[in-house]
Amino acid sequence: MSDCRVCGTPLTPFMSFGQMPIANGFLLEDQFADEYFYEMQVCICGECGMFQLYETPDSTKLFHGEYAYYASNSKPMLAHFKKLADRLIAEELADDDAFIVEIGSNDGVMLRNFHEAGIKHLGIEPSGNVAQVAIDQGMTVQVSYFSEDVAKDVVAREGQADVIAGANVIAHIPVFNSVAAGVKALLKPDGIFVFENAYLGDILELGSYDQFYDEHVLTFCATSVNTCYGRHGLELVDLEHLDIHGGSMRYTVAHKGARPVSEAVKKQLAWEAEKGLTNPKTWDAFRTHLEDNKVELMSILTRLKDEGKRVAGYGATAKSTTVMNYCGITPDLVEFIQDITPAKQHKFTPGVHVPVKPRDYFVENYPDYTIHFAWNFADSIEKIEEDYTKQGGKWIYFVPKVRIK
């Protein structure tokens, strides 16, 4: 039995995905025998409303010197974070002594903007290989996990921050209370903590069950963010819905009483309450959707195999690890997955072991059908692969519904 990572209440799982490997654990053939698996089950804390995985692998198994996700490899992300950075620079970081700390700065996809603007910055990133990309480009990055102790160290060395940012990372950290206490200590009295992650409301509406995987140990919504940061003398003061990553929410948290609470927060809290977003009963239909989605996708893939068609995947995403392992998509059904990330290429996908190939291979071996495993970037990908579509190549979607285009 596992207890809520925020308030300690015992948890009861209500949705099970079976055995899962490490979502970004791309591997070589000689590593197959030792591959690590865990039981992936989802639960909601009845007390504080935090959506979370029942069991997760230790963080050191996920974020280390060979972390496979380089955020700058997805070009739409560069533009997305430049826009946020420009806004923060104009509105929050205008003073000469302004200081921004980014938790989980990855390869500098957002941090580069503060560096280029000559603003004092610090990235705190536990995966040494991605951190090194940013360091090599002149950014200041400390290779470590973020915690209350680390935050207090930063305060002692550098002082408090005007802005603390975290993009697609706060949901990765199981020690929620240590992060919140760290934010409380590190943030200037009028500073803001801005973070974004896949939004629970979009997952429910789209049926995007592939957003559940080991790295997303927590899945946030306005209700849980408001309640759980509230326990630490902090307050949700603003939020903004984003289309990025299949639907994300950007939350702004400040010291309690330091900033007015926006109408957007009140509206979202009301919407979530009306939806019953943190009530396990609300998720009954989602569970049925999960099973139906698997049956439909597998029946298409088996039919195509019987017809002798070639099927590939596009984007060896962390999300694809959930879909492929939950559905049982093996190399006899999907021949290979194209991905532009060198650290994933010439390796095999976690669990089901489908080979990952560079883009040239895709172009030279156009399949008949391609599954959009990076469906969140489908528009941008279909523009890049216009020739594939022109030559009769078909795309398979599974979010929000299974369909062929």
State the nearest-atom distance from the C-beta of 318 to ligand JHZ, in Å: 4
d(CA 51, CA 198): 12
Does residue 336 sit in helix, strand or coil? coil
Binding mask 300-329 for ligand JHZ (x = CB under 6 A): ---------------xxxxx----------
Q: How far apart are CA 368 and CA 51, in angstroms?
A: 39
Q: Identify what 73 binds: Zn ion, ligand JHZ, none; CB under 5 to 8 Å per kind.
A: ligand JHZ
| Site pattern 30..69 for ligand JHZ (x: CB under 6 A) | ---------------------------------------x
CB closer to ligand JHZ out of 268 and 321: 321
Cα distance between residue 128 and residue 66, in whole Å: 8
**Residue 153: CB minimum distance to ligand JHZ, A:** 25
Which range of residues in 42-50, 138-146, 281-289, 372-380 is near ligand JHZ by CB under 6 A?
Answer: 372-380
Two structure tokens written together for 239? 């939020």
Cβ neighbours of residue 134 closer than 8 Å, sequence gap 6 or more:
105, 106, 107, 108, 111, 112, 123, 125, 141
Give phi and psi for 240, each to the nearest 5.
Answer: -150, 125
Total residues contacting ligand JHZ (rule CB under 6 A)?
A: 20
Q: Minimum Å distance from CB 199 to Zn ion?
A: 19
Instruction: Fill in the per-residue mask, 6 to 45: x = in contact with Zn ion (CB under 5 A), - = not in contact.
Output: xx-x-----------------------------------x
Residues in 225-254 that interact with ligand JHZ by CB under 6 A: 245
How many whole angstroms separate alpha carbon 349 and alpha carbon 301? 18
How far apart (Å, rounded) are the C-alpha atoms in residues 354 and 329?
9
Chain residues in the site for ligand JHZ (CB under 6 A): 69, 73-74, 168, 215, 245, 315-319, 339-341, 374, 376-377, 380-381, 384
